[in-house]
Amino acid sequence: MKNNLSRRRSIAYVSSMGTTQLHLRSPWIMAFWSLMFPGLGHLLLSKYLRGYLLLAWEIVINIQAHVNEAMFFSFIGKYEIAKNLLDIRWLLLYVPMYLFAIGDSYRTCVDINNNYILAARDETEFNIFKMNAIEINSLDKKSPWAAAAWSLLMPGTGQLAIHRIASAFFILIWWVIIVYYSNLLPAIHYTFIGDFSQATSAINIQWFLNIPSIYFFAIYDAYINTVEINKLFDWEQSKFLNRDYQYEFFKMPSK
């Protein structure tokens, strides 16, 4: 019976594309990231397909509905312009999926937490080294601050540093697209040479308002996943040493 139960859930899976693991998360934090940008909460939960779909949906529908532009003009008090910008046909498609992303990331996080508790009790073994024709991946410890620093420099590189290939390429591709269409780099160039009016006029506000969510998510995701992978390494190492090297009749000292 114990062997059958131990195969029901695994706490982690190491593949050539990265390390996917179960661990305890706050459902409210997952809902917060989905509130900031639909799909981000699901990416944190390693629900990649759902996260990719929601994130792409958010960008496409947001642009068609002019949501970011309307938000910007609302912030500066130009409510009539904001109202006229909104395309109601696209906006009514935007709202249901936005609410779904928040609610689903919260519910999914609760489910994953429950599965983690059961998997941790089962203590199922998993492979910690994977090698094939395209990649080598192994469970090891890395610096969370180094991963965060790489993402601070270029979103997606922190994920590459900790071997989360799927997330890394997705973030890198969307980051390049968003930065290009927002005209961020020309605006930075004009700022450096002191031409602030040209820098302001160069910015495409519809695309620019996507940058903060993606940028800070990349930093947070790289940091928190490095911390959790380090915990997983310690957990697996302690199980290995206890199973293969600890004397079975050793009595733990007690007070």
Per-residue confidence at 114, pLDDT binned at 50, 70, 90?
A: very high
Q: Which amino acid is at 148?
A: A
Nearest to 107 by CA among 21, 14, 28: 28
Contacts of 197 (CB under 8 A, 6+ apart): none
CB distance 135 to 14 below 8 Å: no
Mean pLDDT of 105-126: 89
In tens, the pLDDT along 155-213 reads 999 999 999 988 899 999 999 999 999 999 999 999 999 888 888 889 999 999 999 99
Q: What percent of the chain has pLDDT over 70?
A: 93
Residue 1 has pLDDT above 60, yes or no: no
39-43, 56-60, 118-122: range with lowest mean pLDDT: 118-122
Residue whose tokens read 């495409």: 204
Higher per-residue pLDDT: 58 or 240? 58
For residue 54, give the 3-state DSSP assignment.
Answer: helix
Instruction: Please write down the HEC assignment for all residues of 121-171.
Output: HHCCCCCCEEECCCCEEECCCCCHHHHHHHHHHCCCHHHHHCCCHHHHHHH
What local confidence, expressed as pLDDT, does residue 5 receive?
A: 43
DSSP class per residue in 1-25:
-HHHHHTT--SEEEETTEEEE----
